[in-house]
Chain A
């Protein structure tokens, strides 16, 4: 990895440069919550000033720019004897600025699911490759436990990653196009002082985590606690609303529907993100539902995050952002649910 120093003005010029020819998406303040805290979303901006790089977290994950909630997979045009199919997955190049380490780690996990294996998704890859990712370091967000799942640092999966050293940014360069961009504005080499300052910031961040989740041996614990009363206790609270999965940067389950135009000449395959917490998620022909209870649905969301994915990819799917915990109106959150499982194990 290469490192450079950019002044704050230099970074602003860099973003302005991207804005001249491409769309830029970043954290924008959209509302103030009842608790007095600002609410942020990743949205397109028209100037650098609209970005609020000091944000704590966003309501919605950045995944929607790579895996939209709804997308058209293909369109069929029919006439009496024949039909044609149209598939479009190309997007205009764009940049997303200000992602935190957990969210970039989330993209790395989605890369494993949609970018590799036998059937990579062209829809996902087109968005991923055409999106320049600029990350930024920050103090832990409230309830965030990314450190417990090793997602508070990130070493690849981005083009540039910034660490704020007060009057300047320490920039980690993760790609050729990132390197080119830095070269277009005033920059300098990293000095020994810069390195010390960078390491001090990194330490301050690491020491500031207040929320910890015990993840050692969690896949095995989950196997042992399959019938634990913990699932019923938390499951009884679940509203089966799917908000946790919508807010999660790594939840990717989906359904595909066929939509037909009113004159029956055009058919579209539309993909829509779903959630394993929804009643209809495991509904199959004949009105059978193999996850009929709230408890079983909630449990399987945790199993996918911390057991199923871990078996397939040697790491949890969860990046510890706690968006699911914050968004859940019933107060169901991974730190408490997992702590309860550990308790149960001891009891």
Chain B
């Protein structure tokens, strides 16, 4: 499904990713851990095609196509859905507009009954006519990101810390909806998290750790989390060197 080989990515002329290899098979959900500033968001942005994240070597293949040079909208249309860690606000563009855009509807088309149900479920009905992300609380932004992704019906979900700053009930809610979607659609996912609580509600096949722009320790996600908790990120590097 997603295949990344020897990927080097620079931001503002500085190399952040120093050769990442990652292979996410169809239908699998992967969890990525790693210290602040290690390059997790950078990898996600490189996958989604964000300008400014320049690939200096290696490549990204999605559904058998080399997408390394494909523009962001092209990747979205192929089925890559990105949930941002820090989504921007846009004056005058409402959450309702974003939903229309995500679901490929015309600007005047209204939401269907099922769609409205989903909005309600994520407790965002009152936000439909507010400017996207403007004055949204941290948790509200996360819910809005998930909502948009679910409307995009992506084949690969990229979720950047969907759980940070989210209260326990909201986390259960959004993780539950994502899990639902994944089960129904057979989509794959890559989820960045620090706490790992999201693993209580979301089934994840594999975990890995990003340290200093490299990926280490690919194994059972709960085991990865336990090791980080007990011996810290350094163990991941040591373990990688031994392998």
Q: Are A and B part of the same complex?
A: no
